[in-house]
Chain A
Amino acid sequence: MSPLWRDEVAIYLAPRKLALARRLKGLKPRIGASTEIVVPDGGADPAATLQRLADVLREPAWQQAAARVVVSDAWVRFGIVPAVPARLDADAREAHARCVLADTYGEMLREWRIALEEAPPGRAAVVCAMPGALRAQIETALAPASLQLRSIQPQLAVAFNAWRGRLPADDAWFVKLEEGWLSAVHLAHGGWDRVHTARLSRDAGLDLERMQAFGRLGADGRMFIEAPAWMRERYGRMNTNLEWLEADGGDPGPTHEISLLLRAQG
């Protein structure tokens, strides 16, 4: 089959969750198979999730396709690289981005891989770091299934791209919730100018109240929340001032995270 028409397998990897969906290509692409698996022994170390992924990929339904992988924000770190007046080559830009990450997270990210946004001249750029071993482990898991790795993106970037059409370009917060994890992005001039990530406490309602107070520090305090359906139902009633993002026609994919990826791809 032509690579242009090759099926795609979307894979979401999180500390305690694994989701897959096979998208059958053609004139009218459609979801051919999907699954969502809880990883009870998963955690900060992605090994358990990746082992479960390798097990799932033994099934023929997930083999012989291109693969798009979305990685939970719990396993990545973000930073904002300010614009510099000088014109930098790729190596200098990466060195600058690593300095920014080191300022924020210390030397722990020294061996991590980074992905740097190609921002327009004069604009700050988003940098994302991921453990170097994670990339290798993902490739190791995909290889036996003949899955060709096409992309590895952080969940926050995928969610932002899925909802960016509904977000104002200036002075607003985009907050993404997932189980046990919160990521918040402040928007200015159509791009990110601040990004924060944090673990959610056991009392997520308290965290939301804190976020609301945090949002009021902005000029208009608008705060857009992206969350799975169960979190929207649980916390949506508690905070009426927050703007919960919901798809008009419901999620197009089998799981919330896969739906975000499909919508971000257009």
Chain B
Amino acid sequence: MSRTRALLVDFADPPRRASGAGVLLCCVGLAAVIAMAASFERSAAERARLDGQIETLSSRHRPAQEDPLRAKQQAEVAKMDRELDIPWTRLLAELESASTDMSSKVSLLQVEPDADKHTVRITAEVRSLPDGLAYLERLQQSKVLRYPLLESHEHLKDDPEHAVRIKLVAEWQG
């Protein structure tokens, strides 16, 4: 249901000038805003200062954290040191000597040292498994190697001489 509208026809000028009380009230409001902003600023600065103190105190009681990059570099240096510690000269001389003792019945294919575990993996081909076992016994007498073990052996069917591939593992003595 529609209603009648109020009718406003007025010959007086609408008030345009701000009254004294209005100006005063506006000034009071502005002053309150400024005071509030200043108070907020002081509180924020105080909080920042206290945060800084807390951080300082915490850092004193916190164990020093290792730099990841530095730790990585240290690990690489250590690994390099261990690899440099491998007695390549003595190891290769001993393996060559053993092959010579076996009258060239052993053909050395691969030597893989593991610096971390202090072991060396030896891959070789022999004419027969007994030759491989003899080579193992020879290495067991070595002063450079310790606890040589036959890890696996494999008859090479494609080889016309039916050679046997053996894999040995041993620790070296530093």
| B4 beta carbon closer than 8 Å to chain A | yes
B 1-25 binary contact with A (CB < 8 Å = 1; else 0): 1111111111110000001010000
Known interface pairs A2-B21, A3-B19; A115-B10 also in contact (CB < 8 Å)? yes
What's the least CB distance linking A170 to chain B, in Å? 7
Q: Which residues of A contact B19 (CB under 8 A)?
A: 3
Q: Can you add 4 more A-B contacts, CB < 8 Å, to A126-B9, A127-B9, A165-B4? A: A113-B11, A152-B11, A157-B7, A161-B7
Main secondary structure on chain B at its contact with chain A?
A: loop
With both beta carbons as reference points, the residue of chain B lying nearest to A172 in the complex is identified as: B4
User: Does A152 contact B7, Cβ atoms closer than 8 Å?
Assistant: no
Going nearest first, the 4 A-B pairs with the smallest beta carbon separation are A152-B11, A169-B2, A164-B4, A115-B9
Give me the interface of B with A, judged by CB distance under 8 Å: 1-12, 19, 21
Q: Which residues of A contact B8 (CB under 8 A)?
A: 117-118, 157
> Once bound together, how far apart are the Cα atoms of A132 and B3, in whole Å?
34
Give me the interface of A with B, judged by CB distance under 8 Å: 2-4, 69, 71, 113, 115-118, 120, 126-128, 130, 135, 149-154, 157, 160-161, 164-165, 167-170, 187, 189-192
> Once bound together, how far apart are the Cα atoms of A195 and B45, in whole Å?
70
User: Does B11 contact A130, Cβ atoms closer than 8 Å?
Assistant: yes
With both beta carbons as reference points, the residue of chain B lying nearest to A127 in the complex is identified as: B9
Q: Which residues of B contact A126 (CB under 8 A)?
A: 7, 9
Q: Which residues of A contact B3 (CB under 8 A)?
A: 164-165, 169, 190
> Once bound together, how far apart are the Cα atoms of A154 and B12, in whole Å?
11
Pairs across A and B, CB under 8 Å, 23 listed:
A69-B12, A113-B11, A115-B9, A116-B9, A117-B7, A126-B9, A150-B12, A151-B10, A152-B10, A153-B9, A153-B10, A154-B9, A157-B8, A164-B4, A164-B7, A169-B2, A169-B3, A190-B2, A190-B3, A190-B5, A191-B4, A191-B5, A191-B7
User: Does B11 contact A115, Cβ atoms closer than 8 Å?
Assistant: yes
What's the least CB distance linking B174 to chain A, in Å? 100
User: Does B9 contact A117, Cβ atoms closer than 8 Å?
Assistant: yes
Q: Which residues of B contact A160 (CB under 8 A)?
A: 4, 7
> Once bound together, how far apart are the Cα atoms of A83 and B8, in whole Å?
17
> Once bound together, how far apart are the Cα atoms of A232 and B128, in whole Å?
142
Contact of A164 among B1, B6, B9, B10 (CB under 8 A): B6
Q: Which residues of B contact A153 (CB under 8 A)?
A: 9-11
Known interface pairs A2-B21, A4-B21, A169-B1; A161-B6 also in contact (CB < 8 Å)? yes
User: Does A170 contact B2, Cβ atoms closer than 8 Å?
Assistant: yes
User: Does B21 contact A3, Cβ atoms closer than 8 Å?
Assistant: yes
* Of listed B4, B9, B19, residue having the most chain A CB within 10 A: B9
Q: Which residues of B contact A154 (CB under 8 A)?
A: 9
Known interface pairs A2-B21, A3-B19; A151-B12 also in contact (CB < 8 Å)? yes
> Once bound together, how far apart are the Cα atoms of A167 and B1, in whole Å?
12
Q: Which residues of B contact A167 (CB under 8 A)?
A: 4
> Once bound together, how far apart are the Cα atoms of A126 and B7, in whole Å?
8
Q: Which residues of B contact A117 (CB under 8 A)?
A: 7-9
Q: Which residues of B contact A118 (CB under 8 A)?
A: 8
